[in-house]
Amino acid sequence: MMTLQGRRVLVAITGGIAAYKCVELVRRLKDRQAQVRVLMTESAQAFVGPLTFQAVSGEPVHTELLDPAAEQGMGHIELARWAEFMLVAPATANHMARLAQGFADDLLGAVWLAHAGQKIIAPAMNQQMWRAPAVQRNAAVLQGDEVLILGPASGAQACGDVGPGRMLEPADLLAQLEALCFRKDLHGLKVVVTAGPTRERLDPVRYISNFSSGKMGYAVAEAFAERGADVDLVSGPVQLSTPVGVRRIDVESAGEMHKEVMLLASFADVFVATAAVADFRVDAVAAQKIKKDASGLQLNLVPNTDILADVASLSEECRPFVVGFAAETQQVQHFGRDKLERKRLDMIACNDVSAPGLGFGSDRNALWLLWKDGSCQLAEASKKHLARQLVDHILEQRTRQGVHD
């Protein structure tokens, strides 16, 4: 069953330029067979007309506090009781303030106060507005009221600024809503995931790295968290939003990642190493920019510490169930099996990064899962879908191999 199938979602749209994205959001919710109703403030209607949302939702759009068409003339109470989830998107600075202070002189404020289900906002505003102390105070008040704040994302804004304040994309909001619907059967399970590339500095302006986007690792962290696990995500430099319910530790180099992982791993039940960690670093980082030389550039590279092997070598009483990843361009299962045995892993997920449209940078992937006495293939799918399958297989093999909490 789809996680949003039949779930009742009220999308409340306020007056920001990101309101246009909500057309796609409502369409995607309908595709997931959710029941969707739309509420629009007066300012939101200046950006997108109610008729558009009526067309994509298949339901009348709610705009008035005192609705003569509603039962007993109290449409705000009916809406509030109907909804399981109430999502305000985009949530402008003005409406964050109004919601934080409990104003109820318009339809949005009245429904918000009367709604007993999960309240969610997706902020969208200028980057300096988002950083303003007043906005941050209002965000803190809303979080204290158990409101889930999704985003904002960073990037180019309609005003020309660059920074935090962009509303999350519809696909990201949809994924977060789906996560709220998952069974919470992993409470108490401690998981550490690594993701993304590492960067090894050559000088103050250059570094060695790779093409990893971090998407697979973030999907794995999200898949554990959406089922209630306690997840730490040690991440190299990526352009991704932190999944809901995940603690994120940002690092740059392999050495920094090794330090953070080893602090966490001995307290974890499961360790999943999806990061594409640089195998080598220069023996000495230049203090000044290396100047161009006609004779070329020679680097003396030394091996980085092997994070995955070090976790797998922890003593039995504090060793987690260890899952590695192998990004290969040929003989995927052969090299994956070799890595599994050589590093004494419990499981390894292998993928062919040379396959068109899969692997690094893509939203899709395909995996071979290998363990000591078996294997299985996960067919091409979205990384989020594969991550959920992977979690199921990790839990199954962890039980079969006699690991208990």
Structure-block tokens of residue 187: 């409470």
Question: Among residues 22, 159, 318, 350, which one is catalytic?
Answer: 159
Residues composing the chain: 405
**159 is an active site residue:** yes
What are the start-end ranges of the E strands in 14-152? 35-40, 85-91, 118-123, 148-149
* Residue 347 burial class via C-beta count within 10 angstroms: exposed 0-12, middle 13-18, buried 19 and up: buried
The dihedral built from the CA positions of residue 377, 382, 386 and 387, taken in this order, carries a sign that is positive
Structure-block tokens of residue 386: 């594969």
- φ and ψ at residue 10, rounded to 5 degrees: -105, 120
Angle between helices 107-114 and 75-82 (to 10 degrees): 50
Q: What is the DSSP letter of 381?
A: E
Is the preceding peptide bond at 123 cis, omega within 30 degrees of 0?
no
* Residue 294 burial class via C-beta count within 10 angstroms: exposed 0-12, middle 13-18, buried 19 and up: exposed
Single-letter residue type at 320: P
Is the preceding peptide bond at 197 cis, omega within 30 degrees of 0?
no
Identify whether the C-beta of residue 225 lies closer than 8 Å to the C-beta of residue 179.
Answer: yes
Give the residue from 270, 354, 348, 265 showing the smallest Cα distance to 314: 265
| Nearest-5° Cα angle at 124, 123 to 126 | 130
- At a CB cut-off of 8 Å and minimum separation 6, what does 374 contact? none
Instruction: Name the residues annotated as catalytic.
Output: 159
